[in-house]
């Protein structure tokens, strides 16, 4: 048995899988947004209070945060909504139109991996100055 239904029709993709493949990248994007807009400005104030010399990676994250914070909120919301809607439409099209699980998995990776890397980079870059401060206090 090949796992295909006996009548020769391809099995319909699950709604749960489609929702997961749509929500995962959206959740990563929201987490990155929260880090950049919610956490980074407070970290920047603390770095400024301690007059710390910041690594370039931390400055990149702070600059991205400041740029995003300077954008009008409705522009950020509209762009975010448009990107999520487009990604969801493509996900549904791949899962229900092509019905190829391999392409659906590749699409989720194409969306999620850059967001996951940006999230990890942001968290790492914001932790670097604190690591340097702890090392300096140990000496």
| pLDDT tens for each residue of 10-25 | 678 888 988 999 999 9
Residue 8 lies in a domain: no
| In a domain? residue 6 | no
Assess if residue 111 is contained within a domain: yes
What domain count does the chain have?
1
Confirm whether 3 is domain-assigned. no
**Least reliable range by pLDDT among 32-36, 75-79, 135-139:** 135-139
The two tokens of residue 120 are: 């990890």
35-92 residue pLDDT tens: 999 999 999 999 999 888 999 999 999 999 999 999 998 999 999 999 999 999 999 9
Element holding 24 (H helix, E strand): helix 15-33
- Asked if residue 32 belongs to a domain, the reply is yes
Residue 113, SS3? Answer: helix
User: Domain limits at 90?
Assistant: 16-138
Please say if the pLDDT value at position 117 is more than 90. Answer: yes
Confirm whether 124 is domain-assigned: yes
- When mean pLDDT is compared across 98-102, 110-114, 121-125, the lowest value belongs to 98-102
Residue 1 pLDDT grade (very low, low, confident, very high; cuts 50, 70, 90): very low
Supply the Cα-derived Rg of the chain in whole angstroms: 21
Give the relative orientation of helices 56-70 and 40-49 as an angle to the nearest 10 degrees.
130
Which structure tokens are listed for 107? 């699409």
- What pLDDT score does 2 carry? 47
* Residue 5 domain flag: no
Q: Determine, yes or no, domain membership for 66.
A: yes
Output the pLDDT for position 4: 52
Contact 13, 96 (CB under 8 A): yes
Q: Which two tokens stand for residue 6?
A: 């006996």
């Amino acid at each position: 048995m090949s796992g295909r239904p006996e009548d020769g029709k391809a099995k319909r993709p699950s709604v749960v899988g489609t929702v997961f493949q749509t929500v995962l990248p959206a959740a990563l994007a929201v987490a990155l947004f929260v880090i950049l807009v919610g956490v980074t400005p407070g970290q920047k104030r603390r770095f400024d209070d301690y007059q710390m010399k910041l690594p370039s990676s931390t400055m990149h994250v702070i600059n991205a945060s400041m740029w995003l914070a300077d954008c009008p909120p409705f522009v950020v919301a509209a762009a975010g909504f448009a990107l999520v809607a487009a990604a969801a439409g493509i996900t549904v099209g791949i899962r229900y139109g092509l019905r190829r699980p391999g392409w659906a998995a590749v699409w989720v990776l194409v969306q999620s991996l850059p967001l996951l890397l940006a999230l990890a980079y942001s968290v790492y870059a914001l932790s670097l100055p604190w690591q340097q401060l702890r090392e300096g206090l140990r000496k």
